[in-house]
Structure 1
Amino acid sequence: MDFLVLPAILLVISTVHAFQYTELVRYIDSHQEEYVEALRDWVAIESDSSNMLKRPDLHRMMEMVAQKLRPMGGNVELVDIGEQELPNGQTIALPKVVTAQFGNDPNKHTVCVYGHVDVQPAKLEDGWATDPYNLTDIKGNLYGRGASDNKAPVLAWIHAVEAYQALNMELPVNVKFVIEGMEETGSNGLDAMILAQRDTFFSDVDYIIISDCGWLSRRPALTYGTRGNCYFYAEVEGPKQDLHSGVYGGTVIEPMTDLIGILDTLISPSGKILIPGIREAVAPLSDEEWKMYQDIQFDLDNYKNKIGVNQLMYSNKVDLLAHMWRYPTVSIHGIEGAFSDPGTKTVIPAKVIAKFSIRQVPNMDPALVKKQVTDYLHLVFAKRKSPNKLKVTMVIGAKPWLADTQHPLYEAGKAAVKRVFDVDPDLIREGGTIPIARTFQDVTRKSIIMMPIGGFDDGLHSQNEKISRYNYIEGTKLFVAYLNEVSQIKKSGV
């Protein structure tokens, strides 16, 4: 070959790739309104997985997902994952999991995109400025329950694949989808399904992509870690029934007093966990991590203003991010059985149940945390010499997840972000828990990346949840670009 011709050939190849991306971007921009209407239709479904009365809506939501995918061809299935047992002993059908496959070229990488379309509860009277199930566009923000968590990201992935198809462009990788309807209540039934299909649906998957998270600031981000969650009930039981405090106050040792007393021994006012063995299990912050945190775009004042406080636990960025992401914490969530309605009620509760959690990090084992917490609380309770009874139960034991930021998946992510947003992404961790990431890692042994498109101010699980039109549309472009970047990972890099 004439080597003088080679640069020209390379230029033509480069131009073709650039032209294809430009065409995809034009297509996405020209279909913005269609994408918003699709999100409007999805948000209108009250797919609250925690409300048994909304289960028909959840089933309808899963059918709607399948209906969105079927016209695109490929292999779309609604997978039955069984039933859910209710506290009263009755059973109710779990929403089916939607799986789909587009392309099966053995010479290409295969990616599996995970998402969920169930939502947290929402009512207008909770403090929403708009109807939470009527997508409302206000100054470029699309307000509605589930808009950011996780309906818009799921739609953006579907629209990314759809854009390639609409322009008769071959998908650069094979794409599979796993979309569930029980994530907000613990992904009931999904772990078993993943295990059952490990050697079938997941056998040819190279990489798993999760977009159920958000940016930390206005700069795009790639997420490489989440904390786990050990959730506890601490029950103190005393008299056989509730008592009148005027008649019995001063004569009985009250369960609520015992419960408040032991809860106060879990964590110090400065945030130090007092349970022996918890802090000792955590790996110290390395110099490399410190440098990564130092480079992340994060404004403490904006963070304080956003959540409405005038003081944080830590006064510098690195300490705050470290304790948000890679150190454990104790949070007390509520007390069941205590009087909490408006007005006054002079009652001594006969039984109260505290609910608290410990967000755990790598090097911590849920089984060991369960033992440490149970032993410690019983020891503290014994010192009170109370006649009441204590029962400690761990009801959730979700493990943390951590990825290698040097993996080619993350290099591809950086390249895609750079192409779409013209900035380098922040590499961040999540303080919350996404249990399915660890399940995918443990069961399939595949490499995972979390690629968020939600904004830092989207208000997930809160009133007035939203996703900006910008993030929704540019996020679709990001997914289009990312599929192309993943296709360029060498097979030896898998």
Structure 2
Amino acid sequence: MIFLLSVLSLLVCQAVLSPISNDAIFQYVDDHKDEFVQRLKDWVAVESDSSDPTKRDLVNNMMQITKDFILKLGGSVEMAEVGEQELQSGKKIPLPPVILAEIGNDTNKPTVCFYGHVDVQPANKADGWLTEPYTLVEKDGNLYGRGSSDDKGQVLALLHAVEAVNTIGLPVNVKFIIEGMEEVGSNGLDKLVEEKKDTFLSNVDYIVVTDTPWLSKKPGITYGARGNCYFFIEVQGARRDLHSGGFGGTVYEAMSDLIYLLDTLVDAKGHIRIPGIYDGVVPLTEKEIKLYKDLEFKLDELQADTGVTRFLHDTKEELLMYRWRYPSLSIHGIEGAFSGSGTKTVIPAKVIGKFSIRQVPNMNPSVVEKQVVDYLESKFSERKSPNKMKVSMIIGAKPWLADMNEPQYVAARKAVKRVFNTDADMIRAGGTIPIAKNFEEVLKKSVMLLGIGGPDDAPHGQNEKISMYNYIEGTKLYASFLQELASQKAP
């Protein structure tokens, strides 16, 4: 009798994970395609711009809409308060609550927690949009609208996948962390994760971020991201702005000092001149070189998309390495300088230069900060200017790198193979994803970025879109991932 029950149990497990069940789930997704697109249309219509405090009610409305949908799926939802935001005027307003939701609590199943956000970047048609940014428009196989890719479309694809898989029963427990302030720094989220690590997040085995693009039209799984050290160089000269007609040629100008300092940071080939900055970079291995060679990526397509006529590096492998696994330094702007139209012959009294260093494993932000400060103080001393100079690091976000052999990465690769009939590209992000590192450090669990955005979705720019193919097939990817994850050995 015991043997018979064991056989029946095995058959049930195989049935849940079989291609036949998967086919039924995929068919469910295809059958509900129009409904899924309509829901994205409804979500895009909500102008949940987190950067504009006057639209805070719209962000809150978007959070409520998301909560209601998760409840409809059979989940339980907590709207976690994360404090207040102080505006420049000094007024304080509540931050949008963070959704903590779960579907399933079977202790015999693994638990995966998905992170996403439903706030968006600002958008106006006058900025160069060809369509109304908050009206989803389908054209040439693409769905245009603010948030269609970043991140409403990706969050919805995940929720629709849970809906589809749940028609036969979820093989894993699913949790969600969905916020409404990601586009302005995820205010309060780090503290919330720390507070919930022993309660809501205590039984989580895996964390998946659903807010990333592919490198090409081939599906990609992201296993690493660079960090970000953001610096201000402040140079103070006279007590007030001076007229160049009366003082030009007679004073040490703050702007000249600043431009000199900025020019010493990086050479024409992108090499950072700060001594010791490359000491912490993990050495390149032959295995990693092969990984880059196998990626699907074309320089000419990137040139066509960006309008860049020539890059600093000539091969695919070199460009991707310097984009992902080596540090870079970029100069972003000067505050206090005249930047309007027309001619203004002022000598600014104080200017602030802004630049960032995208650091990589195993660079440490505190070490980078000291290297930068020491170097700039040395260069400023050489200039022998009487002006005052101060360097400060405003952001010190760490890089993140995961083990591609962890169970959820294996499950994701199998899911990509099943849905798209191709091997996934294993990629890294050149930008910074602080929440990934935060999850890893606080929860000590495997973190993976499994997004479905396209390489040309323009998530922060004009005419943001997600392709219909990525949206629908991406839903199948998430559905297949849930099933494949159940078959992996628990961490």
The CA RMSD over aligned residues, in Å, is 1.8
Q: How far apart, CA to CA, are the structure 1 residues paired with 2:24 and 2:202? A: 33
Q: How far apart, CA to CA, are the structure 2 residues paired with 1:52 and 1:395? A: 23
Aligned residues: 485
Matches within 5 A, 1:59-138: 59-138=60-139
Structure 1 residue 158, shift from structure 2 partner: 0.8
SS at structure 1 position matched to 2:169: coil
SS at structure 2 position matched to 1:147: coil
Greater alpha carbon shift after TM alignment, 331-340 vs 422-431: 331-340
Structure 1 residue 92, shift from structure 2 partner: 2.3
Q: Is the 8 A contact 2:238 2:349 kept in 1?
A: yes
Structure 1 residue 84, shift from structure 2 partner: 2.0
Structure 1 residues 385 and 446, CA gap change in structure 2 (3 angstroms) = same
Does 2:57 correspond to 1:56?
yes
Structure 1 residue 73, shift from structure 2 partner: 2.1
Instruction: Determine the structure 1 residue equivalent to 2:285.
Output: 286
Instruction: Determine the structure 2 residue equivalent to 1:364.
Output: 363
Tell me the TM-score normalized by structure 1.
0.95
- Aligned letter for 1:205? V
Structure 1 residues without counterparts, runs of 5 or longer: none
Q: How far apart, CA to CA, are the structure 2 residues paired with 1:332 and 1:232? A: 10
- Aligned letter for 1:97? V
Structure 1 residues 16 and 210, CA gap change in structure 2 (3 angstroms) = closer
Q: How far apart, CA to CA, are the structure 2 residues paired with 1:237 and 1:118? A: 38
Instruction: Determine the structure 1 residue equivalent to 2:23.
Output: 22
Q: How far apart, CA to CA, are the structure 1 residues paired with 2:47 and 2:333? A: 26
Instruction: Determine the structure 1 residue equivalent to 2:192.
Output: 193
Q: How far apart, CA to CA, are the structure 2 residues paired with 1:479 and 1:16? A: 14
Instruction: Determine the structure 2 residue equivalent to 1:43.
Output: 44
Q: How far apart, CA to CA, are the structure 2 residues paired with 1:195 and 1:27? A: 38
Structure 1 residue 164, shift from structure 2 partner: 2.7
**For residues 127-172 of structure 1, what are the alpha-carbon distances to aligned partners after superposition, in whole Å with 9 as ceiling and x for unaligned?**
211121111111111111221111111111111111233x3x1101
Structure 1 residues 10 and 195, CA gap change in structure 2 (3 angstroms) = closer
SS at structure 1 position matched to 2:18: helix
Instruction: Determine the structure 1 residue equivalent to 2:243.
Output: 244
Structure 1 residue 77, shift from structure 2 partner: 1.3
Q: Is the 8 A contact 2:119 2:182 kept in 1?
A: yes
SS at structure 2 position matched to 1:279: coil
**For residues 18-47 of structure 1, what are the alpha-carbon distances to aligned partners after superposition, in whole Å with 9 as ceiling and x for unaligned?**
222111111111111211121112212222
Instruction: Determine the structure 2 residue equivalent to 1:476.
Output: 475
Matches within 5 A, 1:148-159: 148-159=149-160
- Aligned letter for 2:45? A
Q: How far apart, CA to CA, are the structure 1 residues paired with 2:120 and 2:242? A: 39
- Aligned letter for 1:101? E
Instruction: Determine the structure 2 residue equivalent to 1:213.
Output: 212
Instruction: Determine the structure 2 residue equivalent to 1:299.
Output: 298
Q: How far apart, CA to CA, are the structure 2 residues paired with 1:396 and 1:86? A: 20
Q: How far apart, CA to CA, are the structure 1 residues paired with 2:382 and 2:275? A: 16
Structure 1 residue 107, shift from structure 2 partner: 0.4
Q: How far apart, CA to CA, are the structure 2 residues paired with 1:101 and 1:13? A: 25
Q: Is the 8 A contact 2:234 2:353 kept in 1?
A: yes
Instruction: Determine the structure 2 residue equivalent to 1:222.
Output: 221
SS at structure 2 position matched to 1:393: strand
SS at structure 1 position matched to 2:215: coil
Structure 1 residue 11, shift from structure 2 partner: 12
Structure 1 residue 10, shift from structure 2 partner: 7.1
**For residues 420-479 of structure 1, what are the alpha-carbon distances to aligned partners after superposition, in whole Å with 9 as ceiling and x for unaligned?**
000001001010111000000000011111112101111121111110011001000000
Q: How far apart, CA to CA, are the structure 2 residues paired with 1:235 and 1:56? A: 37
**For residues 224-278 of structure 1, what are the alpha-carbon distances to aligned partners after superposition, in whole Å with 9 as ceiling and x for unaligned?**
0000111111111112222222222112211111111100011000110011111
Q: How far apart, CA to CA, are the structure 1 residues paired with 2:194 and 2:424? A: 33
Q: How far apart, CA to CA, are the structure 2 residues paired with 1:249 and 1:447? A: 59
SS at structure 1 position matched to 2:82: coil
- Aligned letter for 1:323? Y
Q: How far apart, CA to CA, are the structure 2 residues paired with 1:275 and 1:354? A: 17
Structure 1 residues 14 and 173, CA gap change in structure 2 (3 angstroms) = closer
Q: How far apart, CA to CA, are the structure 1 residues paired with 2:20 and 2:481? A: 16
Q: Percent identity among equivalent residues?
A: 56
**For residues 56-93 of structure 1, what are the alpha-carbon distances to aligned partners after superposition, in whole Å with 9 as ceiling and x for unaligned?**
22222211211221222221111000112334443221
SS at structure 1 position matched to 2:337: coil
Q: Is the 8 A contact 2:150 2:211 kept in 1?
A: yes
SS at structure 2 position matched to 1:467: strand
Q: How far apart, CA to CA, are the structure 2 residues paired with 1:12 and 1:279? A: 50
Q: How far apart, CA to CA, are the structure 1 residues paired with 2:381 and 2:13? A: 78
Q: How far apart, CA to CA, are the structure 2 residues paired with 1:49 and 1:362? A: 31
Q: Is the 8 A contact 2:70 2:76 kept in 1?
A: no
- Aligned letter for 1:221? G
Tell me the TM-score normalized by structure 2.
0.95
Structure 1 residues 244 and 12, CA gap change in structure 2 (3 angstroms) = closer
Matches within 5 A, 1:139-150: 139-150=140-151
- Aligned letter for 2:23? T
Q: How far apart, CA to CA, are the structure 2 residues paired with 1:89 and 1:274? A: 41
- Aligned letter for 2:117? H
Instruction: Determine the structure 1 residue equivalent to 2:447.
Output: 448
Instruction: Determine the structure 1 residue equivalent to 2:425.
Output: 426
Structure 1 residue 13, shift from structure 2 partner: 4.5
